[in-house]
Amino acid sequence: MNRTIRTTEDVLALLDGLFPPAEPFWDRLYADRSAERPFFTPRPDENLVSYLDRGLLPPAPGRALDLGCGAGRNAIHLASLGFEVDAVDLSATALAWAGERARGTAPAVGPRFHRANIFEAELPHAQYDLVYDSGCLHHLPPHRRVSYLALLDRVLAPGGHFAVTAFAAGAMGSERPDEELYRLGALEGGLAYSPDELRSLFRDLTPLEVRPMTAQGPGSALFGASFLLTALFRRTAGL
C-alpha cells in the first residue's frame, strides 16, 4: 500500500523518516559518561537559577515539565526546591543516569522520569506552571516545531512560564535554511536560533527575557556556556 498519508501526523511521521532516528544516537552518547561533554555536568543552568533568584518565575511549589531532560540536572534542581517535576527524554541510557543522580542527590520526592518522545509522553498532569527545555528544541527537525507549539499549547498552564535554551546563531549550530536540511537529510548536530527567531516562533507568548547564556567558570555551581541562547516567556492568564 503506497497511499498512506491521511492526517497531518502522517505527514510529520513521513518527514521524520528523512532524518536518522534520534534514540540510538542519544543512547550511544550517554553511554560514555566519562566523555567531556558540557551538558554531562550535574549543575543546573545559570539562567534557570537566575529566573528563580530574580523572581521572574514563581517560587515552588508548582508543577514543572522538563523536555529532553538528559541526565536530569535541571529536573533534579527544580525538585530540590520543592517543584513537582515530570521529566521526559527519549534515551533510556540518559534516564538511567538521571535516576541514579536523583536517588543520590534529590529530596524524598524527586522528579518523575518518563522515557518517551516528548510529543507522545503520557504525563500525570494536563498542564504545568513551568515548561523547561534545555537543549531539546534545537535537535528537532523543522517540521516538528509544529508539534512543539501544539505541545506547549496543550501543557502550559494559563499564566505559566516557558523557558528554552538553544544553540545561538553565530556561535554554534547549523544556520542553513530549513529547506536545505531536508536536502541534506541531516540537522548537522543541531539548529542555531537567533533572538528574533525565538521571539517569532513563540510569538503567541509574552517574552520576558531573551539573552545569551552567561558562561560559567569551572568552579561555579552553575552551568553556563556562551554558545547558547536563553529565553523566558509567559502565557497570558486566562488563555
- Which residues share a beta bridge with 89? 115
- What is the number of alpha carbons within 13 Å of residue 228 lying toward its C-beta? 24
Tens digit of pLDDT for each residue in 103-137?
Answer: 987 566 689 999 999 999 999 999 999 999 999 99
Residue 104's pLDDT is 85
Strands 128-134 and 156-167, by their bridges, are: parallel
Q: Which of 117, 169, 177 is nearest to 148 (CA)?
A: 117
- Which residues share a beta bridge with 85? 64
Tens digit of pLDDT for each residue in 39-62?
Answer: 999 999 999 999 999 999 999 899
Summary mean pLDDT of the chain: 95
Tens digit of pLDDT for each residue in 183-224?
Answer: 999 999 999 999 999 999 999 999 999 999 999 998 999 999
Is the pLDDT reported for residue 86 higher than 90? yes
CATH architecture entry for 8-31+43-234: 3-Layer(aba) Sandwich (3.40)
* Element housing 182 (H / E): helix 178-184
Q: Which of 138, 167, 169 is nearest to 228 (CA)?
A: 167
On whether the pTM is more than 0.85, the answer is yes
Instruction: Locate the domains of the chain by residue range.
Output: 8-31+43-234
Is the pLDDT reported for residue 226 higher than 60? yes
Find out whether 60 and 91 touch, Cβ atoms under 8 Å.
Answer: no
